[in-house]
Structure 1
């Protein structure tokens, strides 16, 4: 039954019932209208309106739920669909909406995959140029400063050594930026070593106490998933250092049935009513890229918890 005929039928039922009551009820209307007659007529009108409103509320409830879902839908939180019952026009509308969400989520995942792939390629290129070109140039400058300091008069050696130390610190910073752009340790030594190095680096440069605990020999989620896990951990630590006002961060990587779970938990002030920024949206896009689940919420003991659950490939699930 179409929505038009459903609403028409509901109103017809109410009006038909009201007409039957007027025909068969022993009530007449005189002129002028008496108090009892007015009370009966007003009461009948109220009953008719209430019944009509209740029936319309029931009939239009699926449309109201659809409207609320359209307002709150977020393609970075996939999987939410409207229940479909029956075969009428409302069911067709709900089914069409669910199919539209399927297409949009698929297109969003594909576009995010292309964007993230291009981003990682650009990061790799910049990191290589920083390491090979800028790093080598600064190393050459450092050697020239050392030779100049060895040959310079005593009164100039202090300034040259100071310039040499400044250049060395700048070279270390360039190398650190290159490592953050493209973690070579992830390719060379694996995810566990990369996360440990990341935690050590953040603890050194931010003053946070970062406790890193990783299960020994976790199953291999794949190269793409390892990079997503590393980037999510990196972004979570960056957000903690910038916004959380925390003192301690716990970074854990553990095995779960059919999955690998990364959790970054701090003891800061949490998100409160703050809206998700570009960093968290980026984490959600990366999670969507590998069909992982990302949960961000308050930690049990206060602060914020970021948990990424990465499904394992089928062959790794059997091994795990």
Structure 2
């Protein structure tokens, strides 16, 4: 396959033009300019200096140069042989002037294309909202507008596909959690009851082994229940976000990590999707703290801000560094996009890592407050005292 072609032998330029054409017409077959007019907006690149196209600018400049050259050839102007220094100076200055004017026009005309190229090179769908400024001649402005429209569509499609994927993931987690609870949990409970009956009948020298088997079964049953709770946070569905975050802080409080939580009572209510995103981001943030940060303290904070709700997970570990983002952080970003929230990860003041999630009023507020979502006890700031030393969670992401 030659350079500049795709797998079907089509030139790269043809593919680009095809993509632009598809974007300009959109899914409904209506041109972008037509949609802009229907919406009451003026098509980009049709006002002021944009009425003069790049082709016309270059053509007029070259026409002026050729006209001047023709006038000199047909006029009474003569050049000595050999050429005199003054005449050579005039020719050089004229040529220099033409080159400067040509470079000036090209620089102004192609600058929007250069900015568009930089915007295309730095485009990242996980950081939506960045758009190339619509400037330049009419056809260049139309191209930039088409590119921005394409980004809008791609971001919308990505958000839709991410929503489907995350919804399917949560559904699978609920199914696995239910099966663990109903099937494996019930089976282990039956085994534990049978061992208890057997313990009363076996000879004395075997009772110690039966007791050990009981303890192992009981430990496995507790572990199954913990995994089921992490896969499906029942406390979030039953008692609300504040109780779920307090429980999460307690789960991650180990002998090596002290988790404090600060949960404001006046946090506006969120819808189910937004609450689940907040919970999963907090869970993944604490998971990364345990696995990668090397921290001994972490803070979980939920507070009301001017434009919505903010979640903060802060640790005193080694900081984020410059390592490539793993699946865990990418997953948090995608969850934030699902509810239109802003996600950021960076160094904490002094030392450590800050994970922030901010949900605005358009990202997840709901007029109906869930039962148990806020209580007076939520204003308390306390340190978890849980003794569970198992720090693994259902999330497989990494920092």
TM-score relative to the length of structure 2 = 0.70
Aligned partner (choices 235, 254, 261) of residue 185 of structure 1: 235
1:173 to 219, 223, 229: 223
Distance across 2 between alignment mates of 1:131 and 1:182:
11
Q: Tell me how far 1:98 sits from its aligned partner.
A: 1.0
Which structure carries more helix by proportion? 1
Deviations 1:41-99 (A, max 9, x none): 77876676565445423321111111111122122221111222366001101111111
Return the match for 2:326 from 249, 256, 277.
277
Q: Please give the per-residue CA displacement for 1:201-222, whole angstroms capped at 9, x wherever unaligned.
A: 1123x73221111102421111
Query: Residues of 2 paired with 1:16 and 1:180: CA distance?
Result: 77
Query: Is the CA contact 1:228–1:286 (under 8 Å) kept in the aligned structure 2?
Result: yes
Among candidates 349, 356, 362, match of residue 300 of structure 1: 349
Distance 1:36 1:159, change over 3 A: farther
SS at match of 2:227: helix
Match of 1:227 among 264, 273, 276: 276
For the residue of structure 1 that corresponds to 2:134, the secondary structure is coil
**Per the alignment, in what secondary structure is the counterpart of residue 270 of structure 1?**
coil
Match of 1:152 in 2: 202
Cα 1:302–1:4 shift into 2, 3 Å: farther
Q: CA deviation at 1:6?
A: 3.6
Q: Is the 8 A contact 1:210 1:249 kept in 2?
A: yes
Deviations 1:83-117 (A, max 9, x none): 22366001101111111111111111111111111
Alignment CA distance shift 1:142-1:71 (3 Å):
same
Specify the SS of the correspondent of 2:354: strand
1:114 corresponds to 2:179? no
CA distance in 2, matches of 1:181, 1:293: 25
Among 140, 152, 157, the residue aligned to 1:102:
152
Residues 28 and 263 (structure 1), Cα distance of their counterparts in 2 relative to 1, 3 Å cut: farther
**Alpha-carbon distance in structure 2 between the residues aligned to 1:154 and 1:71:** 76
Query: 2:142: which partner in 1?
Result: 92
Unaligned runs of 5+ in 2: 1-51, 369-399
Q: Does 1:255 align with 2:255?
A: no
Aligned to 1:237: 286
Matches within 5 A, 1:191-230: 191-204=241-254, 207-230=256-279
User: Aligned residue pairs: how many?
Assistant: 312
Whether the 8 Å contact between 1:221 and 1:310 is mirrored in structure 2 is no
Deviation at 1:147, TM superposition (A): 2.3
**For the Cα contact (< 8 Å) 1:258–1:311, is it kept in 2?**
yes
Q: Which has the higher contact order (CA 8 A, sep 6+)?
A: 2
Q: Indicate if the aligned counterparts of 2:310 and 2:356 stay in contact, CA closer than 8 A.
A: yes
Using the alignment, how far apart are the partners of 1:179 and 1:124 within structure 2? 10
Give the CA RMSD over aligned residues.
3.0
Quote the Cα distance in structure 2 between the aligned partners of 1:216 and 1:136.
Answer: 38
For normalisation by structure 1, the TM-score amounts to: 0.85
Q: Is the Cα contact below 8 Å between 1:18 and 1:48 reproduced in 2? A: no
Deviation (angstroms), 1:35 = 9.1
Q: 1:11 to 1:264 in 2, by over 3 A?
A: farther
The partner residue of 1:133 within 166, 171, 183 is 183
**CA–CA separation in structure 2 for the residues paired with 1:123 and 1:288:** 20
After superposition, residues 19-58 of structure 1 pair within 5 angstroms as: 31=82, 49=99, 52-58=102-108
**Which residue in 2 is equivalent to 1:264?**
313
* Corresponding residue number in structure 1 for 2:55: 4
